[in-house]
Amino acid sequence: MGQHGQDRPGQDDPRQVVWAVVASDIGPLMLAATDDGLVSVVFHATDAVRDAALDRLGSRLGADPVEAADSPLLAEPIRQLAAYFAGELHDFALPLDWSLISGFNRQVLRELTTVPYGAVVGYGDLARRVGQPGAAQAVGMAMGANPLPVVVPCHRVVESDGGIGGFGGGLETKRQLLALEGVLPQPLF
């Protein structure tokens, strides 16, 4: 990747990828966006986690991600996430870049965006909603592959027996998000 992804022969339109780390109630989040929209949200964005995520993004998107906290591509995602954590925003209205996920996983995650704030859905229910009633486990895998957690609310997917289910950001993070949305009681301490 000699010249920072610019003007490479045979590369029609090098993609712009910008990123920033922002503070949140669930710890630092790394947000990345392209011209198409928000492309990645990464939990627990310590330096090591951030660097690994940037390497993955660069190789998947074919562009070197550039830190740009003041980029117009990130302004609205940063504003809406802050409002969400403040309890003032219930529905994200952001352009999303789905290019990191495809096939069944993309279908499931797009359906998940219709599950409203303060509601939950079972893995099996979500599988039925995309016409794959036997695919509850595959739905779980799709949740684990979600490149846009919080905005595409995989924390709202729970087990049908009342269990909280797994979560890429850790169960404590899932509990905090569900408590914020009023699905679970706020912890006492």
Global pTM value:
0.88
Yes or no: say if 105 and 58 are a contact pair by the CB < 8 Å rule.
Answer: no
* Cβ pair 146, 168 in contact under 8 A: yes
Q: What's the average model confidence in pLDDT over 129-146?
A: 94
The reported pLDDT for the residue numbered 165 is 86
User: Is residue 186 pLDDT above 80, yes or no?
Assistant: no
Nearest CA to 143 among 161, 160, 162, 121? 121
* Catalytic residue (choose from 154, 177, 178, 180): 154
Instruction: Decide if pLDDT at 88 tops 60.
Output: yes
Q: Which of 158, 166, 160 is nearest to 183 (CA)?
A: 158
Active site residue 154: yes
Average pLDDT over residues 84-99: 97
pLDDT bin (cut points 50, 70, 90) of residue 21 is: very high
- Please answer whether residues 133 and 147 qualify as being in contact, where contact means their C-beta atoms are separated by less than 8 angstroms: no
Helix ranges (DSSP H) in the chain: 47-61, 72-85, 103-112, 123-129, 136-144, 171-180
The answer to whether the beta carbons of residues 82 and 31 sit under 8 Å apart is no
The long-range contacts involving 176-179, CB below 8 angstroms and separated by at least 24 positions, are 176/25, 176/26, 177/26, 177/150, 177/153, 178/120
Element (H, E) at 32: strand 29-34
Write down the pLDDT at residue 136: 94
Q: Letter for the amino acid at 165? A: G
Condensed to tens digits (0 to 9), the pLDDT of residues 148-185 reads: 999 999 999 999 887 888 888 899 999 999 999 999 88
SS3 129: helix
Going by pLDDT thresholds of 50, 70 and 90, the confidence category of residue 188 is: low
Give the rounded percent of residues in the chain with a pLDDT score beyond 70.
Answer: 91
